[in-house]
Chain A
Amino acid sequence: MSEHIMSSKFYYTIWIALLCLTVITAAVSFVDLGPLNTVVALVIATIKALLVVLFFMHVKYTSEKLTKIVIVSAIFWLFLLLALSMADYATRLLS
């Protein structure tokens, strides 16, 4: 686990970044980017989630590989659920 303690300035930096990204994502949604709107929104959300997981939840500094395995598995299983369900819905019109 995170034995070394981060400076509070570091946390403030992450915090500012998260707030900026929130404002950006809200602002960008008013701009017409076509289908890219969704992509941008999800990319920004993922960056924010990564910031929280890696720094606030200390995953970046953990020596424990298992934590990362658990996170990756959870995302992978979520992907299975979404992808294999969509495999049905996306191909219904074809048949």
Chain B
Amino acid sequence: MFDNFPLWPVRASAGAGNVDALYIFLVALSAFMCVAIFTMILVFATMYRRRRGVEAEQIEGSSALEITWSIIPLGIFMVIFLWGAVIYFHERTPPQGASEVYVVGKQWMWKLQHEEGPREINELHVPVGRDVKLIMTSQDVIHSFYVPAFRIKQDVLPGRYTTAWFRATRPGVYHLFCSQYCGTMHSGMIGQVVVMEPAQYQAWLSGGGTTGSLAASGESLFQQLGCPTCHRSDTQGRGPILSGIFGKPVQLEDGRIVIADENYIRESILSPSAKIVSGFKPIMPVFQGLVGEEQLNALVAYIKSLSPAPSGAAGKTSLTPAGTRSQNP
């Protein structure tokens, strides 16, 4: 019976330990406070229960006490806040060079695609010890990508990317839940994350009959859609040069400067006029409705691949800039 009755979730990611430590601290603190308050109440309730002839003693209050029991909790709260904020900051800042998985949520399934190419549905295979960054969007309503064993959760929104990351530390099969209510089969929108030893993972990767990396399919799509006619590798193009652009600040026509992140590239494909790069004309057609979420992911992956990551991106495919795009990895 107790096989079916675990009381603590498995810990299978690098960040999970931090969350658990803070959680245990908070449980201990709460238990202490509860015991303290309940003991006081019980002691008072028995010591001062109503007796004939014994009147209550009227006590006005004490500002010193009030200030004490306001300031001390506030101090403790600030410690909790800081501790939690550090963990959160860590959770929301994917490390450089993480390998990327594109996730599309739809009613009621998860569609995932590795940057190496393999696609999966409701299942995610990852090796132990590698940083994995999830770049997620939704085709319809809001979903939420939740892996309890990794202690990560991130809502997946229609119309933009959100990201999450983890580094699995323990091989095994773990639940993947949708935790944001999304309609009839919300509770059926579950899957599993399979964490494997690196060697097994490589075997799994090569066994899948892959069709080439995500960036490569993005590149062929880039060609199909005729993008290179304007986005050329030299300065003669009618559109900005795309190589090396990812992650860099971009000067816009209206003077603003934005960072070219995934959401910026996404927006620039779907609604190019929203943020015009300084010195260019708003002539690019709108691709909203012409490319699906998964094609969009491929395009984004391709454009990102034109900007090699600065530090060791072990699993990344090294692509040449757009001008000499004839080579394939």
Contact = CB atoms under 8 A, between A and B. Distances in A.
B258 A93 contact: yes
A87 B58 CA distance: 48
Interface in A3-35: none
Contacts, number: 3
B259 interface: yes
B92 interface: yes
Contacts of A95: 92
Contacts of A93: 258-259
Chain B interface SS verdict (over half): strand
A93 B259 CA distance: 8
Nearest to A94: B259
A95 B92 CA distance: 9
B136 to A, nearest CB: 15
Interface string A65-95: 0000000000000000000000000000101
A93 B250 CA distance: 12
A75 to B, nearest CB: 29
A93 B92 CA distance: 14
- Chain A contact patch, size range: under 10
A95 B89 CA distance: 10
Contacts of B258: 93
Interface in B70-94: 92
Nearest to A95: B92
Contacts of B92: 95
A30 B92 CA distance: 45
A57 B258 CA distance: 46
A95 B259 CA distance: 10
A2 B291 CA distance: 65
A34 B225 CA distance: 38
B154 to A, nearest CB: 13
A33 B258 CA distance: 25
Contacts of B259: 93
A93 to B, nearest CB: 6
A43 B309 CA distance: 48
B252 to A, nearest CB: 11
A93 B262 CA distance: 11
A36 to B, nearest CB: 15
A92 B183 CA distance: 28
Interface string A31-46: 0000000000000000
A93 B267 CA distance: 13
Nearest to B160: A92
A58 B92 CA distance: 53
A4 to B, nearest CB: 45
A63 to B, nearest CB: 34
Nearest to B258: A93
Interface in B231-262: 258-259
A57 B203 CA distance: 79
A68 to B, nearest CB: 30
B250 to A, nearest CB: 11
A93 B263 CA distance: 9
Nearest to B256: A93
A71 to B, nearest CB: 31
A93 B258 CA distance: 7
Interface of A: 93, 95
Interface pairs A-B: 3 shortest CB-CB? A93-B258, A93-B259, A95-B92
3 contacts: A93-B258, A93-B259, A95-B92
